[in-house]
Amino acid sequence: MTTSSTAARLKSLGPGIILAAAAVGASHLVASTQAGALFGWQLWWLILLVNVLKYPFFRFGVTYTLTRNESLVSGYYRKHKLYLWAFTLLNIIAAVVNTAGVLLLTASLLQLFLPQLSLALLCWLILLACLLILLGGQYRSLDAIAKWIMVTLSLATIVAVVIAWQNHVPPATDFVAPSPWELSALAFLVAMMGWMPVPIELSAINSLWLRSKQKLTAVTLKDGLFDFNLGYWSTAFLALVFLALGALVQFGAPQPIAMAGTKFAEQFVAMYSATIGAWSEYLVGAIAFLCMFGTTLAVLDGYARTLRESHRLITKRRTSLRYWVLGQSVAGMLVILYFQAALGPMLSFAMTLAFLTTPFFAWLNYMLVRKQQMPTAMHAWAWIGLTYLLGFALLFVYWRLFT
């Protein structure tokens, strides 16, 4: 690779890295760690498999955007208005619930440093900081922050896993490991896979981030795929790293595994502290907070972009992104203020809904690019992924309705 092409590729980095930042906060920090803490190493291959099988459908979003010079959202509209309506309705639910969820978890991590402040107040402060960044610099600020956060968090997590491996104490000899292959664990598996590496609607969000990147610099298909592959496979690797951390530190421990909220944040930071040393508690807490802060930025910016684009295509009217970011922020805070006690079930519902709708939007992404020239192996890869995702979704529906 020549120096000029290397510089071009580095300059094109951005959308894939932002996608990775969103993934680490949304699924890895929570779902992967919990998978390791609850079931040890038993789910490593399933996490890897889901990342592999979802890959073509996120990649199709990049190839469609760069070859057709329009976003996936426009592609849904071009295919049929009903596809865009279905995407928009599901996106509204995901935008509001996910905004509330990531805000609350970010505030829970910040409360470790500011215990005297209430969660609601911390949510307002975090939201204000996000709005100042997004309404000021918008995509350019998000691009820069995401890269810095990803590098920092990745290095800290890898170091923690290496130390955990060296200091690992196996579970007690009489400990019986729970099985993830029982029907009672199916809901957890479906929720985990729904957000692994991220919900499928983020393929459309990534498409719009890519369009924003094109306004800053020229992005070729080759460079765009390099950025996407770097971000996507980094998330797959980090999913296994977070799984390892949960398996090495929490698996087999007598303390029950917290599944959400403040207790989860406390356990997560304590996990690092027990592995690296008490001196690291504030350092790791700060890094985890920055990770979730980056995810909150990505969620606020990304969902607002897709909702604005959907509104533009449906009504033929252009509106400012600022209004959509503000509206989404207010809706997320209202959920926190009035439904905080029910936020855990709401997030589980959102994660499950993300998995159940994955086959539909995966198929739609494939339909938009299937006539483009691509290797036969990519077509086969897509059909294998569709078969798996649809089969597992139908199994879950059958379980919920008939057992």
Contact 35, 192 (CB under 8 A): yes
Q: Report the amino acid identity of residue 399.
A: W
Neighbours of 333 (CB within 10 A): 17
Q: ω before 197 within 30° of 0 (cis)?
A: yes
Q: How far apart are CA 2 and CA 86, in angstroms?
A: 45
Tokens of 328: 């989404």
Contact 134, 141 (CB under 8 A): yes
Q: Which of 108-117, 149-158, 252-261 has the highest mean pLDDT?
A: 108-117
Q: How far apart are CA 185 and CA 57, in angstroms?
A: 27
Question: In the structure, what pLDDT confidence band is assigned to residue 367 with cuts at 50, 70 and 90?
Answer: very high
Q: How far apart are CA 300 and CA 304, in angstroms?
A: 6
The overall longest dimension of the chain from CA atoms, in Å, is: 66
CATH of 3-402, one of 1.20.1250.20, 1.10.287.130, 1.20.1740.10, 3.30.1380.10: 1.20.1740.10
Kindly tell me the burial class for residue 6, based on how many C-beta atoms sit within 10 Å of its own C-beta (0-12, 13-18, 19 or more). exposed
Q: Which residue has the higher pLDDT, 268 or 226?
A: 226
> What pLDDT score was predicted for residue 273?
74
Residue 200 sits at φ, ψ, to 5 deg, of -60, -25
Closest CA to 47 of 189, 179, 157, 161: 189
User: Does the pLDDT of residue 284 top 50, yes or no?
Assistant: yes
Q: How far apart are the first and last CA of the chain?
A: 57
Q: Which residue has the higher pLDDT, 299 or 183?
A: 299
Q: Which of 25-34, 228-237, 251-260, 291-300 has the lowest mean pLDDT?
A: 251-260
User: Does the pLDDT of residue 255 top 70, yes or no?
Assistant: yes
Residue 290: C-alpha distances to residues 14, 115, 287, 362 (Å): 18, 18, 5, 31
> What pLDDT score was predicted for residue 262?
62
Question: In the structure, what pLDDT confidence band is assigned to residue 4 with cuts at 50, 70 and 90?
Answer: very low
Contact 32, 195 (CB under 8 A): no
Residue in this structure with the two tokens 């170091």, named with its chain if needed: 159
Q: Which residue has the higher pLDDT, 96 or 183?
A: 96
Closest CA to 362 of 98, 72, 81, 95: 72
Closest CA to 63 of 142, 387, 55, 4: 55
Q: What is the mean pLDDT of residues 345-369?
A: 84
Percent over 70 (pLDDT), the chain = 89
Half-sphere exposure (CA, 13 Å, Cβ side) for 334? 8
Q: What is the mean pLDDT of residues 86-99?
A: 88
Q: Which of 173-182, 206-215, 300-309, 346-355 has the lowest mean pLDDT?
A: 346-355
Q: Is 252 helix (H, G, I), strand (E, B) or coil?
A: coil
Which secondary-structure segment (H or E) carries 358? helix 343-369
Q: Return the domain boundaries, the chain.
A: 3-402
| Helices vs strands, H then E, count in the chain | 16, 0
Question: In the structure, what pLDDT confidence band is assigned to residue 323 with cuts at 50, 70 and 90?
Answer: very high
Neighbours of 42 (CB within 10 A): 18
Q: Which of 53-62, 114-123, 274-283 has the highest mean pLDDT?
A: 53-62
Q: Is 72 helix (H, G, I), strand (E, B) or coil?
A: helix
DSSP label at residue 80: -
Q: Which of 44-53, 209-218, 269-278, 285-294 has the highest mean pLDDT?
A: 44-53
Q: How far apart are CA 394 and CA 398, in angstroms?
A: 6
Closest CA to 63 of 197, 229, 308, 230: 229
User: Does the pLDDT of residue 403 top 50, yes or no?
Assistant: yes
Q: Which of 57-66, 96-105, 247-256 has the highest mean pLDDT?
A: 57-66
Kindly tell me the burial class for residue 401, based on how many C-beta atoms sit within 10 Å of its own C-beta (0-12, 13-18, 19 or more). exposed
User: Does the pLDDT of residue 277 top 60, yes or no?
Assistant: yes
Residue 65: C-alpha distances to residues 25, 39, 71 (Å): 25, 39, 5
Q: Which of 139-143, 256-260, 327-331 has the highest mean pLDDT?
A: 327-331
Q: What is the mean pLDDT of residues 333-353?
A: 77
Neighbours of 295 (CB within 10 A): 29
13-58 per-position pLDDT tens digit: 667 787 877 777 667 777 888 899 889 899 999 999 999 999 999 9
Residue in this structure with the two tokens 């470790």, named with its chain if needed: 112
Q: Which residue has the higher pLDDT, 397 or 48?
A: 48
Neighbours of 223 (CB within 10 A): 19
Neighbours of 124 (CB within 10 A): 18
Residue 259 sits at φ, ψ, to 5 deg, of -100, -15
Q: Is 176 helix (H, G, I), strand (E, B) or coil?
A: coil
User: Does the pLDDT of residue 358 top 50, yes or no?
Assistant: yes
| Mean pLDDT over each residue of the chain, to the nearest integer | 83
Question: In the structure, what pLDDT confidence band is assigned to residue 308 with cuts at 50, 70 and 90?
Answer: very high
